[in-house]
Amino acid sequence: SALHPLICALPKVEQHIHLEGALEPDLLFSLAAKHGIKLLADDAAFTSEQALRDRYLRFTSLDDFLGYYYIGMSVLRESVDFCELAWRYFQRAAKDGVRHAEVFFDPQAHLSRGIDYNTMLQGFVDAKKRAEDELHMSVNIIACFLRHLPVADSLAVFDNADVQASFRDGRVVGIGLDSSENDFPPVMFKEIYDKARDLNVRRTAHAGEEGPAQNIASALDNLGCQRIDHGLRLAEDPVLMKRVADEGFLLTLCPVSNILLRCVPSMKEVPIRKFLDAGVKFSLNSDDPAYFGAYILDTYCAVQEAHNLSVKDWETICTNGIQGSWCSDERKNELM
């Protein structure tokens, strides 16, 4: 595209990236070796980096992906492992022009393996500090709850003293909700989101990825979400789409993820034009870049290839992303 240089130079924000989803096969295998972890011997995908990458091109659904995602992250054990993972992501993101990143992690996926909350968080905080100092990025950390686990488990984690301390001192600025969407509607997690609101903790949730547009309305109405992760299926509900546009909620779209997980047949069918025309605000994000083979610049280029956006469209996308970020007005002005 003639716009390629402009797209490279755009001041980007990334707001939907699971740090565990940035675990590239090479780091996965080296950490497995370091800790003497035997990856599933009965799955041929784990025989080599190439076999694993090939398997990643054949996901059949969100749950098929999640199986690999949870096995992959089992190699993360020490603080330095979490730090290395996040630092590699920040370096790559900075190269792609990301100046502000709001990154997810899944505490329960590590707590359930006996990893201490402060062990994982310290690694991420160390990498964040380094990205701020050396790459001049700003970084916010968001803790996600796993919707496939019992709600009581999420509540106990939310109430945990170490987790509460991380909200109070701002190491963690917000909460999210991820993992399998079907069978686990947002309203199940209302109690946690009510508590988060009382503590002034920011709130987002995955909704309308595999699940229906109704989950987007529920995330807004029942959970008091301040933005929506994915929101792909908003396009199926014109009335809700008008409401989201009128009220200015931002969607953190992840088009490459949606294609790889078969939520949409191809990039052309991601409703980018529809959202732009309806005034629905969205940012473009990588979701799980190591699993979907695309970081943020790859994602922007794939969108441009299919949708041939104008300079004005790109300015709208980047401005909305910046304005929808959970940073200070002062920082937003620096990013503009």
The residues assigned a catalytic role are 209
Beta carbons of 61 and 262 less than 8 angstroms apart: yes
Q: What are the C-alpha distances in Å from 250 to residues 1, 18, 135, 286, 320?
A: 27, 18, 26, 16, 8
The CA distance from 217 to 223, in Å, is 9
Q: What share of the chain is helix, strand, coil (3-state, %, to 5)?
A: 55, 15, 30
What's the rounded Cα separation, in Å, for the pair 315 and 300?
Answer: 13
Residue 147 beta carbon to ligand HPA: minimum distance, rounded to whole angstroms: 8
Q: Is the CB of 97 or the CB of 231 nearer to ligand HPA?
A: 231
Beta carbons of 206 and 229 less than 8 angstroms apart: yes
Tokens of 316: 């709208």
Binding residue per annotation — 287?
A: yes
Q: In 3-state terms, what secondary structure has residue 150?
A: coil
- Binding-residue pattern over the window 40 to 69 for Zn ion, x denoting contact by CB under 5 A: ------------------------------
| Beta carbon of residue 263, minimum distance to ligand HPA (angstroms, whole number) | 9
Tell me which residues touch ligand HPA (CB under 6 A): 18, 21, 62, 69, 178-179, 206, 209, 257, 287-288
Per-residue contact string for residues 275-304; x = within reach of Zn ion by CB under 5 A? ------------x-----------------
Query: Closest CB to ligand HPA among 207 and 276?
Result: 207
Task: Determine if residue 301 is left, alpha or beta; phi over 0 gives left, psi from -120 to 50 gives alpha, anything else beta.
Answer: alpha
**Residue carrying the six token digits 């968001």:** 142
Q: Which is nearer to ligand HPA, 81 or 178 (CB)?
A: 178
Number of Cβ within a 10 Å radius of residue 305 = 11
Q: Any known ligand binding at 307?
A: no
* Annotated binding residue 206: yes
Give the number of other CB atoms < 10 A from CB of residue 58. 9
| 106 marked ligand binding residue | no
Pick the closest to residue 178 from 210, 156, 136 (CA basis): 210
Q: How far is the CB of 252 from ligand HPA (least distance, A)?
A: 10
Judged by beta carbon, residue 96 or residue 287, the one nearer Zn ion is 287
Angle formed at CA 16 by CA 250 and CA 74, multiple of 5 degrees? 155
Confirm whether residue 136 is marked as ligand binding. no
Shortest reach from residue 218's CB to ligand HPA, in Å: 16
CB 247 to Zn ion: min, Å: 22
**What does 62 bind: ligand HPA, Zn ion, none (CB cut-off 5 to 8 Å by kind)?**
ligand HPA
- Give CA–CA dist 128/80, Å, rounded: 13
Q: Which does 204 bind (CB under 5 to 8 A by kind): ligand HPA, Zn ion, none?
A: none
209 binds, among Zn ion, ligand HPA, none (CB under 5 to 8 A by kind): ligand HPA
- Interatomic CA distance for residues 297 and 98, integer angstroms: 9
Which residue's CB is nearer to Zn ion, number 79 or number 285? 285
User: What does 179 bind: Zn ion, ligand HPA, none (CB cut-off 5 to 8 Å by kind)?
Assistant: ligand HPA
Please enumerate, by residue number, every residue annotated as part of a binding site for substrate.
Answer: 288
Q: Which residues are annotated as a binding site?
A: 16, 18, 206, 287-288
The residue ranges that bind Zn ion (CB under 5 A) are 287
Query: What residue numbers does the annotated binding site for Zn(2+) cover?
Result: 16, 18, 206, 287
